[in-house]
Amino acid sequence: MKSKKQSYDKVAQSFDFLRAGDMRRWESHQKTLFQNLTGKVLYVGTGTGLETVNFPAGLNVTAIDLSRQMLEKSRERVANYSGKMHLCQMDAEITGFRDDTFDTVLTVCVLCSVRHPVPCLKELKRVLKPEGKLVLFEHVLSKNPFYAIALKTMSNLTERLEGTFLDRDTLSNAEKAGFKILSHKNVYLDIVKAVTARSA
Amino acid sequence: MAYCSHLMVNPDMNMFLAMILGGLIGMILMTIMMLLLMPFCGAFEVMIPLHINGMLIGMSAAMLSTLPSISTHLITSGGALAGLMVSVSVYFSNKHLTQS
């Protein structure tokens, strides 16, 4: 199996095209959710920086991604952002930041792709200040059995092709990592969710 | 999807095998359509209805194709109607879940 980094490097060229439909549908939901971003922000899994257009202006953002190709593709969007944003190539499961560094941590469709979601969330909790906020825009396994079958079947394919899991229970994982869910809103069915959480 | 399953299934085939083959055909067609539609409509918005349709219609159409009394026209129309019902159900399910 290809490494995550290789697989994201490879998909970087077609990433914007593949995500175009999602971005059109999610724009207003992301703009509302991203109003929760305050202070020093860690943007995990930047990808090609698609979501930066939905960020409120004037934030101080540290954007990390595992893939160099993705980061290269994101440079133009990062440069156009009306605030401070700098890029780092880093693994979300082992970041190089000190404890209690950030006021807000944001992930957009990241916890479906990391190898170990709970340790990754624990790492994000470590770098988040105790009163800080975790903001998630993620897809999770549906509670509806018809949708869950579809997601579990497709997950077998996406896991092999691009290392994305469609059957994760991210809200429970966040609680296992020591977060308390403050709010969660369904964006599409009960699969795509906008979530805010803080340290329990 | 129903028409493709009907074309691929031999009327003399065992109904259970036809169901498996129909499900497989539905899944393959669903994956192709998903890849084509995903950049325009969103990944999950196409994945969920297409997946349910692919399995349900592919399997049912293939099973019905083994019955000599069922015409191609009936299978195709039934498939189209079932597809429409699934899509409408997912649409209203989404309305309910996102507004609650």
Q: Residue A47 belongs to a domain with what CATH number? A: 3.40.50.150
Contact A189 B39 (CB under 8 A): no
B52 vs A17, A150, A190: nearest CB: A150
**ipTM of the shown complex:** 0.81
Interface check for B43 against chain A (CB to CB < 8 A): the answer is yes
Instruction: Report the C-alpha gap between A96 and A94 in whole angstroms.
Output: 7
Residue range A129-171, pLDDT digits in tens: 999 999 999 999 999 999 999 999 889 888 887 788 999 999 9
A78-106: string of b/e by CB count within 10 Å (b at 16+)? beebeeebebeebbbbebebeeebbbbbb
Identify the pLDDT of residue B38: 87
CB proximity list for A70: less than 8 A, separation 6 or greater: A8, A9, A12, A15, A46, A47, A48
B47 vs A144, A150, A190: nearest CB: A150
Domain of A182 in residue numbering reads as: 4-199
pLDDT exceeds 50 at position A34 = yes
pTM of the model: 0.87
Residue range B27-55, pLDDT digits in tens: 899 889 988 998 888 889 999 999 999 88
Q: Structurally, how many domains does chain A consist of? A: 1
Contact B39 A188 (CB under 8 A): no
Q: What is the mean pLDDT of residues B75-95?
A: 92
- Top residue of B28, B48, B92 to mutate, by most chain A CBs within 10 Å, is B48
Identify the pLDDT of residue B48: 93
- Delimit the domains of chain B by residue range: 2-91
